Amino acid sequence: MKIGAQIRLPKLPMFIALLAFAGSAVAADSDATRQLKSRNAEFNKDIIQVSDSVYTAVGYGVSPVSMIVGQQGVVIIDTGIDVASSKEIRADFRRLADKPVQAIIFTHGHGDHTLGASAFVDTPDVQIWARQGFGHEQQTLERAGILIQKRRGEMQAGFALSAEQRINNGIAKAYWPNRKGGVFAGDHHVAPTHLVESGREKVSVAGLDLELVASTGETYDHLYVWFPKERVAFSGDNFYKSWPNLYAIRGTPYRDVREWANAVDRILKERPVAVVAGHTRPVIGEATVNETLTYYRDAILFLFDKTVEGINKGMTPNQLVEYVVLPDKYQNLDYLRPYYGNPEWAIRAIFDGYLGWFDGNATSLFPLSDKAEAERIARVAGGTDALLGSIETAIEEEDYQWAAQLCDYVLTLQPNNKAALLHKADALTGLADEILTATARNYYLSSAIKLRKLAGGT
């Protein structure tokens, strides 16, 4: 079978496809909405043959699941977001190689890569490999008693949105968990039995020789898997086809941006002929992989270095997001467009990660409270009624960010002001329509739903 072939590729009948195209042509979608809808092709449900022995299932859940076929059995790399979709993958993998699973390897501890593991535990002696410190991010938050990131994560994911509102999450199809507690909740946790404690550990299992390489990036428990015989790398979430989520708006400890770039560089130096991404479809072909990972690494490093340059000039985060502009050679690459992460968020995270909350402006040392500032803004504007008038003007002019900020002043003083609640919902809906970053879009629209409910609307 030809490498890169899609083993399963469900297709709609041509007349249905034409009807879908005709319907989309009628809708007055924004450019960002059209790009996100086009992005859904990346998440078609397939099994792709990556190399002679490697198969990757995409589009079943939200993250790829890979199988390496050995003489005595198979090795599974990452296990998907839930048992139901992973059982389907396991059944389809068996049709390709009816051999027992002898090992599972987790690239990191996020639930969308681990919670389907029980579907692949064929026998009690299956080896479960992960890096030492597995689950570091979630454990760090939970030890401190910080739980709000779960609610913010639901907003970022858009779980409260309709199927029409929630196009995708930028690097995966839209997914709604059918379990209480959100996307990373569940009763199917499979704990590691073997931990990678060194920088690089060689593992022989199922007749396969693999190398597990410590690779801090999105998380501190990340590793990548190197299959030297066929020169295939499994990157985990340190690479996927989007601007990387160097900061997640659900809230995370600082993600080391320099180390993230270094992790991509280490994969690049393996000289892979294929790389299986943590989300989106694999990249296949030595020249394509080399070019893709080189630009990916260099774009991250450019943003980091330029941000540091601006920091050393005394710039505040607000000034930095105007100062740091990615060159066109990065912006014009589809796999670096901000479908999931956003460069502005990364710039702010780098500043805060190294210097903390103080922006260097003496005025910011002891700022007015939200209420005190809102009172003064209302006084300057001529009262809350005048502010409401300015909000209406801003919305008419599609100046949605300014409208939302003005609404915050009114709502600080009058939390139940129905007009301000509805105006802010409209402003956020307008912002959502303009933004390519799916997590921001989902957060805007989820917030708008809450505001309309508070106002007694629908």
9 in a structural domain:
no
Q: Are residues 176 and 84 in the same domain?
A: yes
292 in a structural domain:
no
What's the CATH code of the domain at 225?
A: 3.60.15.30
Q: Are residues 386 and 429 in the same domain?
A: yes
Q: Are residues 251 and 158 in the same domain?
A: yes
Domain's final residue, options 345, 362, 379:
362
Residue 12: predicted pLDDT = 39
Q: Would you say residue 22 has pLDDT above 60?
A: no
Q: Are residues 232 and 125 in the same domain?
A: yes
**Cα-trace Rg, the chain:** 24
441 in a structural domain:
yes
Note whether 127 and 194 are within 8 A (CB).
yes
What's the CATH code of the domain at 418?
A: 1.25.40.880
Q: Which whole number is the average pLDDT over 232-239? A: 98
pTM summary value: 0.92
Beta carbons within 10 angstroms of residue 243's beta carbon:
29
> Tokens for 296?
């990916």
Note whether 219 and 137 are within 8 A (CB).
yes
Residues 6+ apart with CB under 8 A from 371: 412, 413
- Total residues belonging to the chain: 458
What would the pLDDT profile of 130-179 be if each residue is shown by its tens digit?
999 999 999 999 999 999 999 999 999 999 999 899 999 999 999 887 65
What would the pLDDT profile of 357-405 be if each residue is shown by its tens digit?
999 999 999 999 999 999 999 999 999 999 999 999 999 999 999 999 9
Q: Which domain holds residue 404?
A: 368-454
| Alpha carbons within 13 A on the beta-carbon side of 400 | 16
Say whether 302 sits in a helix, a strand or coil.
helix
Which whole-number Å values give the CA distances from 177 to 158, 189, 253, 441, 453, in the listed order?
11, 16, 24, 19, 23
Note whether 46 and 59 are within 8 A (CB).
yes
Pairing verdict, β 127-131 and 194-196: parallel
Say whether 345 sits in a helix, a strand or coil.
helix
337 in a structural domain:
yes
Domain's final residue, options 283, 309, 343:
283
Domain's final residue, options 283, 310, 340:
283
Q: Are residues 111 and 157 in the same domain?
A: yes
d(CA 453, CA 312): 45
Specify the number of domains making up the chain.
3
> Tokens for 388?
């409401």
Q: Are residues 393 and 430 in the same domain?
A: yes
